[in-house]
Amino acid sequence: MNAAVILDFKSPPRYDTFAEPVAAEGEVMVSVSAAGLHQIVKSLASGAHYGSTAALPQIPGVDGVGRMQDGTRVYFGASKSPWGSMAERCVTARSLCFPIPEALDDATVAAMMNPALSSWGALRERVQLQPGENILILGATGVAGKLAVQIARRLGAGRVVAAGRNPAALEELLQLGAHAVIPLVDDQEALATSLRQEWSKYPVNVVLDYLWGRPAETVLGAMTQKGLQHAAARIRYVEVGSMAGQTISLSAATLRSSGLELIGSGFGSISMEKIFQALREFLQEATTRPFTMKVETAPLREVEARWNSAEKGTRLVFIP
């Protein structure tokens, strides 16, 4: 069959032939109709993600949309290694796929389910966002961040503040439901001042972080409080991405002087059962009241040329 094939971790996948997968007991064969190029897909394909395996060659892709052999159109959230979702066919556990409503097209579902999990799953399962709580979304100008703003509003957040670098995207986020935006300027002291000014009026309850690295250090540093008389409020800081760096430096004073709780959200920190429960909930919400998301499709044969193209606020979906 035809597929995107990873031959080494330093080069984009090539469009080539690959051995057909074989379904075992409890598994189903899916004819793939759409597979999204998510950040986790790129990270896994480069060998940088904690879930990467050294086995080569392999097919990239973590999820997608397709049809089972009985014709049922399904979303599937994983496939059997080394067969990823960017192929004409893949095999997945029957428990890891479920039907999708006809109201949603293949490309839209393939584009939005993975980025939705980063916020819907994190806010519902990891931090249990409560109605009326205030949230800061760090790195909100990407595809996942824009969706996160809408999801936070849909889940009842009191105030949603979006932080990012792209000025045009920040303006767009105000239209998508953000109450305020904060530019991620290079002057770290100026950024910390902006954060403290916002929090002095509207204390933050939850931080959803797609960046980590230096921006996270600045946000965490801004939480540090001087003096011995204050009573720190609880702040749940959930790390879902590391676009700005894999590590941070964290002052002990930040932990001792604030109500900070550091939490991660991703595969491993949420059970597969909870992940698929969250995805079903999100899909139902998206069917009832659609979310705004920009999607671009391309034939899978263009995978090598399109692999490293800039996202620019649009999720690329390959069609086998």
CATH number of the domain enclosing 129: 3.90.180.10
In the DSSP assignment, the letter for residue 142 is S
CA angle 99, 68, 125 (to 5 degrees): 40
What would you measure as the largest C-alpha separation in the chain, in angstroms?
Answer: 67
The boundaries of the domain holding residue 224 are 114-264
In the DSSP assignment, the letter for residue 94 is G
The pTM assigned to this predicted structure is 0.92
pLDDT above 70 (res 264): yes
Which helix (H) or strand (E) segment holds residue 288: the answer is: helix 272-288
Q: Are residues 149 and 243 in the same domain?
A: yes
Domain contains 279: no
Domain contains 108: no
Residue 271's pLDDT band, with cuts at 50, 70 and 90, is confident
Q: What is the mean pLDDT of residues 215-236?
A: 81
Domain contains 35: yes
Lowest-confidence region among 101-105, 166-170, 308-312 = 308-312
Name the residue type at position 86. Answer: M
Nearest to 34 by CA among 125, 137, 104: 104
**Whose structure tokens read 């949309």?**
65
Residue 226's pLDDT band, with cuts at 50, 70 and 90, is low
How many domains are contained in the chain? 2
Domain contains 57: yes
Domain contains 211: yes
* Cross-strand bridge partners of residue 137: 162, 208
Q: Are residues 72 and 136 in the same domain?
A: no
Q: Are residues 139 and 260 in the same domain?
A: yes
